[in-house]
Each structure stands twice: as structure tokens, then as C-alpha cells.
Structure 1
């Protein structure tokens, strides 16, 4: 094979079995991409996760960690390093497990697992580790344990796990990298192997076995013969050929991609032809492009040259692609994974043809002179809710949900409408190593009408912030107006918001029932203690009457009836008094 075409070649084998236990709480797997492009820029990944038995949900934790890592790692931007990609993905997984553990705390169900992974990219092995599973390196008949067990000793024979995925909201992860040579072997194992087979025996098997499959089988049998009463997970990989080292230099150049120039129709770049400009602002541009080879249409988003020297802006732009690639939902625009190297900094999304909701709502009002029909509004709202829930399921907060970021598509044949969220520019990802950055009020261009005031004043209201935006959009769908009127756009500081009052939806649209108005009011409440905490709860109360709201309505009606009764009674006695006075005066006369 010519040197300039030399690629990574591996031999590997994996086993994961219940072995000495009734159930298997381990998870082990590997992903070696078929795509040369992915191999070059993301590498090959190998993972062992061991569910913590006494946590009760260890099996779910290990499977979640394995599947999420092998899926999400390969969706990270090509411009991210292996370390950055893996750490951000693992931080997100850790927070997801931690939240599951917290949710089940009353049942003592902890979603905890150990995690050890090896990512092979170019000539380098990247090692990630937390817990007491292990990674060994074998070279020239010598075995070396590369990881440290995260265990604490109470007394002789008594230890406990000090670190694991899902144990704490902030992940403390061990990372190291090492240069590889042809013939190197890397072994990843759960404690079902290394607690029952000593390193000398492991070294002997790796030195004598002819293939990874044979070695793994021998190691498993040794553990069982030595009385293993635990699950056994083993991954063994051997380096048969390494790629050219200049791939790292090329990756370095990729992270320094130049900003693209302003494109005009007919220009060609990286196998794509520019058809037309779709959108342009001070922060980014969007173009309709066509893949010259396949004819596929796509939307190309490019960064604004105004931020060419702004490293934070560049990092957030790159992160948008990663966020979009992790979300697979029919109501969220899909990011297209590219198979060709890029000459400039940009990314591709599916082309969603339609009308943005802002224009769509305005057009509906002009045509009908009234808000759209409730069933139609509810259908659109339900789709937007499913889309925003997909963000939350991936530990991401949208932060800038508004009609301008939603496209309404209409099927030409069936007439069915589909709402698609098309922007990731302000998304905040929980669990990654970043500081919450509030939306800049001066540059939101109308966002203040829909964004949670807490965002705009520098506070992170997380999921509840997206709920505020969703409820505001719901209010507009049902009434054609906004819950606090247009004056909210002029608010700058918290005291400005204190002067605003919720405008009852029933006052704007008398057809709206009181229970629906109560749901909209709760969804747009400035007080987080009074606002919904989940999309599901809000949508449930939008679809059907909440008994609590009906009780409030009855209570208010009773109060009003009682007041009316006393008013009538007082009026009766007043008229009686006047009559008595009149008769008294008449008799005196």
C-alpha cells in the first residue's frame, strides 16, 4: 500500500457476559467507522462500563453510558480534539445519570457505573477513565496498568467506589494519551477479570495468544476457573498498522479553518454549488446549496466575518453543529454529516422549505381577522413542544425559542402542517465545561418578546426558561396577542418587569375557557416557583382541564355569588330602610 494512503488497521475482540451472576450489569462495545473520513477525524472507540450493583439501576446506567458515548462521540464537530469531544459527551452523560439517580432517590435507585474508554486516532491512544474498571497497555512482553482504581479503603478487605459516572453532578474524569507502535495491545476490563486473574497471568496470555479472539477467550476461562462470581467484560485490541502521522497536522489546520467569503449564486465550494442566499444577519449567513454529485439540497450556515477574531463566538458556532447532530426529531432541523473535508468554517443542515411562524401567524390573522382555530393551533403547538422536549432529552436548553426560529411546512397533497425548530445559535448544553452566558438583550432583535426575562437579566432558568417561551407562543397561537403586551420589549432591568401584569387570554379571546387561561398564565409566570417545570405538565394542562384550575374557577364563582348575595341583601335592607323612613314621614305629616 502506498505510504500516502496508509490507514489504521486493528484486530480486536470483545466479550461481555453475566458469567458468575444471574444478570449482566456490564456493557462493552466498540465502534470502528467504515468511513475513512470519520476514522481520520474521530478515530475508533472502545468502551467498557460496569454497572454498580448496589445502586439497583446499574445495568441501565452502563447501557446508557455505552450507547450514548458510541453514538454522541462520533457526532461531535470535526474541529474538536478527541479530549474535548469525549469530555463534553461524558459530562453530558454523567449529568443525565445523576439526574436519574436524583429522581429515584426515594427508592434508592442509583444510576451509577464505572467507565473506561480508549479512542485510537492516528498514532495516539486517548484513555478516559472513572471507577474501578481498568485499561492495560501491552508492548514487547510487558504489561502496564495505565489507569488507577477509584476506590477507597475502609479496612482490610473492605473498599467502596469513590468515583463513578452518575455519582456527582460534576464529573471528575481521568484522561491521558500515549503514542502507539505497531504490535501494541490495549486491554479494557471490568473487575470480573482483574479481580480474579493477576497481571502476570494476563501478560502471559497476551504474549502467547495468536489472536485477540483467542486471548479474550482464554482470559475469560481463567477468571471463571479462579472462582469469578461477577460479570466479565473484556475488550482486547491490537495495532496492526498505523496511518500516516501527517493526519494530525491536517486536523490542526482544520481547527483553524478560515471564515468563508460572501457567497453568490453559482459559486462552488467543497463539491457544493450555491443556489441563493436564504438569510443574513450581523451574526451569520444562510445559503441554499446543492450537492453537485447527488443533487441533494441543503442549507449552509456560515459565520459572520464580524467575529473572525472572537474565539468564544467561533467555539459556539462549532458547537451548534454538534448540538444539532445529537438531536433526531421530526420537529427539529437535521444537521447533515459531511463526507468531504471543508475548506472553510461552515456546516450543513437539511433544507426546510416553508414559512417562518412569525410571518405565518401574521398572514393567518390578515386572512381571517381572528386567531387560528383551536385544533389547528394545538396541533402546531404540540409539534413545537415535541421538538423542544428533544433538546431537553439531550440535556440542552434552547434559550431562544420564538416564531422566527420555527418553520411551518405544508404538504402539497395532504395539506398537513409541520412545525420545525431550525436554530441552535443560543443553545446551552448542561453538563459541559462552560459558564452560562445570558442572552445579550441589546442584540436579540425581538427575542425579548418570547424569552424568559430571567435569561435576559443574567439568570439561568434552564428548562423553565424554554417553557416560558413555549407558553408565550401558545398564548399567541390562541389569541393573536402576547401575555404581557408589547411593553415587555422595552424592559431592561428586573424592576421594569415588576410593573407588568399578565393580560388574561379570556379578555383577548372570549372563546378561551378559564382553565386554559390559567395554564397559559402559569406557563408565563415570572416566578419560577409558580411556573411549570416540565413540557409534559404544561401540554397536559393545555389539552385538557386541570381539576385544580376548575376548583379555582368554582371557588371564584362561589365567592362572586356570595358577594352578589350580600350586595342584594344589603340593597334589600337599604330599600326597606328608605321605605320605613318614607312611611314615618308620611304618618307625621
Structure 2
């Protein structure tokens, strides 16, 4: 018997002009998805004094549910929920910082329930509440994060978007058939005591009538705030415990070495596309639908490496969060998995690495269109606070109709999800050093501007067939090594490249962040349109020469003074 929950929710502005609350419930209709993810309910209350409370609460509720449903089935609920909330918090915090001078904060309280198998998982920040009604007894499952200021005044001590680090209250409780779970905003529970809430919910014939009555009685009690409530009634529970199911998932074995003709979970292997020491890609065909996909499997070299396994699993979730025509689409698994792997759409074409070889000195319009498409894909990643970190021609497919698609997530960094920034491995054989920001490799997280560096490097290679700093960049191991490199003008390899285009590329691959472009749009603008500043003496070269010129002038000045002193001394003669 699957988990069966009937539910209802309500939110209203009340006596206020604007409703800054948000509520949502998602109960997957597909039985396997319900088993994997459970029922998700979320309630957020925007902090009205922060000016952007409505946007914050809507973002928190919508993205929490959407991102949770995309998490790998092998993640524990606690792990998934806390990672998503941390990422969400950082997203809202950064939006608040963009409007720091306007005092516009994206802040909200947040409470969520995930009912999976026979367990209720609780995530809570702020002063919204979650209750459990069982056998006529009402129990509060959350605590209010408020500080009393005296005189009946209180202040919210914790909210999503308030700080870049978010302490999250997480707990779980076993479920029983007949349990009723209730989520309320302070516009309800600040005006109805626990006994009244219990009486309303216990005597309501349906969940819908329960939330309607909670709202009406709160208004009658004088509520002067927005009002929201969610009621979930547990009608039946599965026999399998969550712990049993989780153990089955986390013990998924690595797939065997696959060969054409072999079948795995109804997927027939047609050919091996790629293999390295870290992973394999296979073209597979679904036996039922006949559709062809790409299967990515982990390398058996990492059988006991927990960190590698976690990162491999995370790739699938990252891909599911991105919806862009220039980023490969992750396929929802058609059947239950018996091994550790994930599926991607099959993108026809060749790698950009091969395309560059096949198209020396390409038509500018075609090349620039591909660059703009890759930039669009990167922007989709960046909109999810995700940095690619290892963009290179081998990770981009160009279709026969000249459409570019980013196909790899193996080195991505997700702000708010990764506990710490981990610099890329410096492996020259993989080409990482050729395209990745040297500051990444030296341990500095430059965020989206690191991906910008990689895009500018790729653009340089597309038009010249060379790298902006030559192959020597693969041998660099320290900051001193990079400081010895010098940018090679693209015009020496492709004489038709105009001066302004060359200088835009130079600015895009500058090691110094003060000289590099701030945004992808600025790079694309200067690659497509002549920047008048680039038609003068090279500002980057002038900046490089200015310290040298200063010391040369200073040395000349002191030499001149010394010569004058010696002349004066010789003219005076012996006394």
C-alpha cells in the first residue's frame, strides 16, 4: 500500500493590501515518484519590513519544492532539504545585497514538511509553525525563532535570506495512520491558541473545511496580518520503512563494464561513446519506447571513494535544475535503477574541439553564434548559483545545424550546497589548465568570472586555432609561473582579426580580475561591436608597463642627481 495523504491549503491577505505569504503542496501521482520523494508541503511568510518579502516567500516555496523533486533518489531527505535551503538562503541573501542602498531585503520565514514512507521530515526557520494532531492531542513540532524586546515587542531572530549562513532546524518524527499535520503562519497562530486550533482541525470533516475555518476564526479573533494554513491528513502508510528504502538506494552497486548488446534496467547498450579513468558514456536505447539516450556511469576505480560517489550523484541533480536549450537535458529515469548511473539526452554532432579542427578560420558570424549560445548556457547555470569551472571544447557538442550544447557537470560548484570551495585538480593531460581560470587552479573561487575566462579562451581558439598564452600554460604550477606568461595577440595567428576584437579577447583572458570583464554580456558586447577604447593604445599593456616606467624614471632621476653632485664636487677641487 502506498502513502496516501489528503491535503488542502489556503493563503489570504486578510486586512492587509498585499499578501506576502506563500504556500504549496506537491503529492506526486506516479507511485514510484511518490515512493522516492514523498509528499512535500511548504509555507513561507515574507518579512514585510524587508520590502521584498512577497518575492522572497514565493521564491522560497517554489524553488524548495522544485529543487527537492530533482534531487538524486540516493540522497537522504535531511541531506537534500538542508542543501536546498542553504542554496536558497544564499540566493535570497545575494539578492538583498544587490539592493543594500534601497533597504530592500529578500527575507522570509520558512517551514516545510516532507512525508516520505513512514516518516515526517521537518525543516524550519523563523516563526511559522508546524503541529501534529494525533489521537486528539496537539503537539507543536517547531519552535519560534524570535527575540523578546520587552513591552510585548518581539523581533525575528532567524529568517531565510537574513545572513549568508543559515542555521536550519531539522527533525523527524514517525507517522501513524490518522495523523494530521498542520502548518500555519503567525497571522493564524498568534490569534488562535493551541486548543482552538486543535478543536477546529479535529472537528472539520475535510482538510479544505479545516483550513477555511482556521482562516475565518483568525479574522474574527482580530488578525491583522496575512493568513496561511496547510492541513495534511495521513490516510494510509506503506509497509516499507524509510530506513530500509534508503539503505537499498545508497547500496546501489557500480555498473559492470558494459559492452554493445548488453541490457541494464531495460536499456540496451548500442556503443561506448567515451571512457576515461573517472567515468564512461554509453549510447543506450530504451527497449520499450525505442528512444536513445546517453548513460553516464562511474568508474570502478572509485569503488570505495565516498566523496567521488557523492559528487557523481550530485551531477544528476545539478543537471535537472537547469532548463536551457544549450545545456544537456537530464532524463527522468523510466524504471527503477539497479546500479549507479544517470541518463542524458543524446545530442547529435561533434565536440567543439573537433569542430575547431574542422573549421580553421571560421566565418565570424557562425563562430560568434556558437560563442553566444555557450554564453547563454553558462548564464542558465549562473542563474542557479552554479559555476561550471571546467568549460572546454571537449565538453561542448556542436550539432549539424550549428547549435552548441554544454554536456558535462563533473566539476561544477554550487554556491550554498558545497560546504567549501574545492579548487580543480591541475591535470594537464585532461586539458583543465588550458581553459580554466588560473585563479581557480590556485585555490581562489572567482565565480562566474572564471567561466567568463574559459569562454574567452575558447573564443580565442575558435578564431586562431591557438591558446592565448600558448601551451606553456599547461606547465604552470604557481602564481610565479603564471606571472611569467604573456598574452599572444590573436592577430599574429589570424591577420583578418581586427584590433578591437583582439583586445576584447585579451581583456576576457586577463589573469588580473581588475582587468578582466565583470560580466558575460560585456564580453559579448565588445566581441560583436568595436569598443572605441580598444582603438587607442592598448590600455592593458599600458597598465602592465606603468610600474616599470615608474621605476625607470625614478632610477634615471637619482642617476641624474648623483651626476650633478659628482660634477659639483669635482668643480670645487681640493680645499
Asked whether the two chains share a fold, i.e. TM above 0.5, the reply is yes
**Pair 177,553 (structure 1): closer, same or farther in 2 beyond 3 Å:** same
Shift of 1:553: 6.5
1:210-289 → structure 2 map (5 Å cutoff): 210-246=205-241, 248-289=243-284
The structural deviation recorded for 1:460 is 1.6
Maintained 8 Å contact 2:428/2:475: no
**Selected match of 2:475 from 490, 497, 508:** 490
Instruction: Choose which of 35, 38, 51 in structure 1 pairs with 2:33.
Output: 38
1:347 is the counterpart of 2:342 = yes
Matched, 1:446 2:423: no
- Give me the whole-angstrom Cα distance separating, in 1, the residues matched to 2:427 and 2:469: 20
Equivalent residue for 1:81? 76
How far apart, in 2, do the equivalents of 1:501 and 1:10 lie?
A: 65
For residues 119 and 247 of structure 1, the distance between their equivalents in structure 2, rounded to whole angstroms, comes to: 12
Provide the rounded CA distance (Å) in 2 between the counterparts of 1:551 and 1:227: 70
Matched residue SS, 1:317: helix
For the 8 Å contact 2:515–2:540, the answer to whether it is kept is no
Q: Which moved more, 1:429-438 or 1:90-99?
A: 429-438
Contact 2:132–2:180 (CA<8 Å) still a contact in 1?
yes
CA, structure 1 residues 474+555, in 2 after alignment: closer, same or farther (shift >3 Å)? closer
User: Given that residues 333 and 421 in structure 1 are in contact (C-alpha distance below 8 angstroms), is that contact kept between their aligned partners in structure 2?
Assistant: yes
Any conservation in 2 of the 1:7–1:243 contact (CA below 8 Å)?
yes
Partner in structure 1 of residue 377 of structure 2: 387
Q: Is the 8 A contact 1:398 1:466 kept in 2?
A: yes
1:98 matches 2:88: no
1:511 paired to 2:501: no
Assess if the C-alpha contact under 8 Å between 2:503 and 2:538 holds in 1: no
Greater Cα shift, 154-163 or 443-452: 443-452
| Corresponding residue SS for 1:417 | coil
Aligned position for 1:584: none
CA pair 457-555 structure 1, distance change in 2 beyond 3 A:
closer
**Aligned residue in 1 for 2:486:** 501
| Contact 1:514–1:553 (8 Å) recurs in 2 | no
Matched positions, count: 542
Which whole-Å CA distance do the structure 1 matches of 2:130 and 2:518 have between them? 41
What are the ranges of 5 or more consecutive residues in structure 1 without an aligned counterpart?
1-5, 366-370, 411-415, 558-589
Of stretches 292-301 and 448-457 in structure 1, the one that deviates more from structure 2 is 448-457
Distance 1:20 1:293 in 2: 56
Report whether the alignment pairs 1:378 with 2:368. Answer: yes
Counterpart secondary structure, 1:436? coil
Residues 465 and 291 of structure 1: CA distance in aligned 2, closer, same or farther (over 3 Å): same
SS of the equivalent of 2:229 reads strand
Secondary structure of the corresponding residue to residue 83 of structure 2: helix
1:497-527 CA-partner distances (Å, limit 9, x unpaired): 1100111223333332333222211111111
CA offset at residue 482 of structure 1?
Answer: 1.4
Whole-angstrom CA distance in 2 between matches of 1:107 and 1:203: 43
Q: Distance in 2 between matches of 1:306 and 1:363?
A: 34
- State how far apart, in whole Å, the 2-side matches of 1:555 and 1:335 are: 42
> 2:411 aligns to what?
426
Deviating beyond 6 angstroms after TM superposition, the runs of 4 or more aligned structure 1 residues are 553-557
2:546 corresponding residue in structure 1:
none
- Matched residues in 2 for 1:444 and 1:44: separation? 46
RMSD across aligned positions (CA): 1.7
Give distance in 1, aligned partners of 2:519 and 2:145: 36
The change in CA–CA distance for 1:448 and 1:150 in structure 2 (over 3 A counts) is: same
Most deviating of 302-311 and 140-149: 140-149
Q: Distance in 1 between matches of 2:541 and 2:10?
A: 66
Q: Are residues 1:170 and 2:165 paired?
A: yes
Task: State the alpha-carbon separation in 1 of the partners of residues 535 and 21 from structure 2.
Answer: 49
Compared CA separation, residues 226 and 298, structure 1 to 2 (3 A): same
CA shift for structure 1 position 548 = 4.0
Q: Which moved more, 1:223-232 or 1:500-509?
A: 500-509
CA distance in 2, matches of 1:99, 1:405: 29
